[in-house]
Chain A
Amino acid sequence: MNTAAANPAHLVAATGISKSYSQVQALAPLDLTIHAGELVALAGPSGSGKTTLLYILGGVVQPDEGEIVIDGRPLRRMRPGKDLAALVGLVHQNYDLVPQLPVIQNVLAGMLGQWGLLRSAISLLWPRDRQRAEKVLAELGLADKVLERTSHLSGGEQQRVAIARLMVQSPRIVLADEPVSSLDPVLSEEILRLLTGIADSPGRTLVASLHSPNLIRRYFTRVIGLREGVLQFDMPSSGLTDDVLAQLYELNHRGELDRPGTGEAAAEVS
């Protein structure tokens, strides 16, 4: 596995990555390879290291140890910003839009990696590539919000604007940190359909953290369980049972006796 770094079939190859924040281990040394076309779900209780792993893969946080190779190139040798933006895109839990700007400017921010300074400055006053942004927004059902101030939108609409930005940026690896944690079920499905849609074309992949076993089974091909920074399981999502997940989220490892009914289900899995 460790020699996989040079294998071009692996879109992402991480070897021995770990991270600690002031003596607390956020991520234990971890090896991970992701192929193009895979849809990977990260599961685990809060503080399990999901966000840290996503940030490391996105180049936002530097790992203490280990190396990441993306599409055959070491991550640490890529220029932050420009190079990376074409390869990796990140959607955060709280959308992270600039609330004061009109929707279209937040969407066009996905182009900043390709635009020069002059072009992006002009675009603030007279938006460039307007059709592209409008087309994406129309696909997401936001055609009538193009010039609206972003802070006036509802949470679900803002989430879709963040996805529109990602679609305009069009990276090969989409990383999503709890994209549906604060949304109702209908909206959650819609967002996941959109995200997996971006990763649908060849040579792309999606890595997202979420908690619902149903959604994981329905929209993802592979699921990785993390707990206190340590890998618990890595399996096809079809093999994920509610019980495996429940065990992952249990407050401590004291076993099944505390909860009635788990013994049966656990037997089913094994």
Chain B
Amino acid sequence: MNLPVPAAGNSRVRSSFTRIYVYGLVLLFILSWGYVLFGGDSGLASLTSGKTWSNAGGFLRELAGIGSGATPAYLQMDQWVEKGKLAYHTLAMSVLAMIFAVAGVALTFLPAARNMGNGELGGTPSRLWTVLYYLVRGTFILTRAIPELVWALIIIFFLSPGILPGALALGLHNYGVLGKLSAEVVENLDPRPTRALRAAGSSNFQMLFYGIIPQALPQFLTYMLYRWEVVIRTTVVVGFVSAGGLGREFRLSLSFFHYSEVALIIFWYLLLVVAVDLLSAWLRRLARFD
């Protein structure tokens, strides 16, 4: 019987390469777990002790607002309104972050596509495109490799706390992520329509408007909306340091042991996440133009 298993490497060289990568992974796995468990206090002892778990039970009870004596936050209307306002700010922060990221990508995605610079799409190849390619790709990698939270830690050195620095930090990281994805969309485009445009006498810019953008836009929008779903989850975390939205309140409530408020904040947070997921799914359906 013919089983559709993946074909083994067709040359000895290739399969030995594969073996190196696979053995490398196994080695990395062993060393990492070795380091985590025996390189210092892993926390295994405390995680397996009964006292830790009774503490955890106490924490959960306090989240639920049981036994602390005071009225739990979810029974106070003004708490609901206050946290709701923060959720509104958090949503705005995520949208603003997406706008920063998308604006940046819109300005720079083109030279980051290799088939633009080498003339595969029908454009005129030039040294300048090649230089720009490496420049923009380098920026993508740098902004993508640094997590949003670290960007936020850096940005609050310059900007006043609020929505803006958080949105900027989120935007910076997602600029790198979306930039890479968008460049790949262009690299995977069918080159024939743009080449035909070229033959009909279009310049590089005309090719962008008539060939590349119409073909790539649905995919761009889909990626953007998927990314928004990630961003809304991260917005809270960036808020820890940039002092905007639910994140800051979450941190404050935790350090003041106002645990029932923490529960309320998490509730609003989940509400935001679900709302954005649904909204994004709906918009993605709209973005499929045909």
B201 and A92 contacting across the interface, CB-CB below 8 Å:
no
Within 8 A of A (CB), among B215-244: 215, 217-218
Number of interface residues of B (CB under 8 A): 23
**B28 CB to nearest chain A CB (Å):** 39
Establish whether residues A90 and B214, one from each chain, have CB atoms under 8 Å apart when the complex forms. Answer: no
Bitwise, A76-93 to B at CB < 8 A (1) or not (0) is 000011101110111010
Interchain CB contact under 8 A, B200 and A109: yes
Neighbour of B196 across the interface among A96, A101, A117, CB < 8 A: A96
The reply on A52 being an interface residue by CB < 8 A is no
Chain A residues with Cβ under 8 A from B196's Cβ? 90, 92, 96-97, 162
Bound-state CA distance A59–B198 (Å) is 10
Which of B199, B203, B215 has the most C-beta atoms of chain A within 10 angstroms of its own C-beta? B199
Chain A positions within 8 Å of B124 at CB level = 80
A90:B199 contact, CB within 8 angstroms = yes
**Is B205 a contact partner of A98 (Cβ separation < 8 A)?**
no
| Complex contacts, A90 vs chain B, CB 8 Å | 196, 199
Could you say which of B193, B201, B214, B215 contacts A84, with CB atoms under 8 Å apart?
Answer: B201
Interface assignment of A114: CB less than 8 Å from any CB of chain B: yes
A47: Cβ under 8 A from any B Cβ: no
> How far apart are A130's CB and chain B's nearest CB, in angstroms?
16
Chain A: residues with Cβ within 8 Å of the partner, total of 37
For the A-B complex, the count of residue pairs with Cβ-Cβ distances under 8 Å equals 85
**Is B199 a contact of A100 with CB atoms below 8 Å?**
no
Bound CA span A98–B209, Å: 11
Are B198's CB and A81's CB within 8 A? yes
Could you tell me if B200 and A58 are in contact, using CB atoms closer than 8 angstroms?
A: no
A105 vs B210: C-alpha distance in the bound complex, in angstroms? 8
Does chain B have a CB within 8 A of A112? yes
Instruction: Give chain B residues whose Cβ lies under 8 Å from the Cβ of A80.
Output: 124, 198
CB distance from A55 to the nearest CB of B (A): 9
Given the complex of chains A and B, what is the CA–CA distance between A17 and B114 in angstroms?
30
Residue A265 at the B interface, CB < 8 A?
Answer: no
**Which A residues touch B206, using CB under 8 A?**
112, 115, 117, 120
In whole angstroms, how far apart are the Cα atoms of A265 and B203 in the complex?
52
23 residue pairs from A and B, CB less than 8 Å apart: A81-B202, A82-B203, A84-B199, A85-B199, A88-B199, A89-B199, A92-B192, A92-B196, A96-B196, A97-B196, A98-B193, A98-B215, A100-B218, A101-B214, A109-B200, A112-B197, A112-B200, A112-B201, A113-B201, A115-B206, A120-B210, A165-B200, A169-B200
Q: Which 10 pairs of residues, A with B, have the shortest CB-CB distance?
A: A113-B201, A85-B201, A96-B196, A112-B202, A100-B214, A96-B192, A90-B199, A98-B193, A112-B206, A120-B206
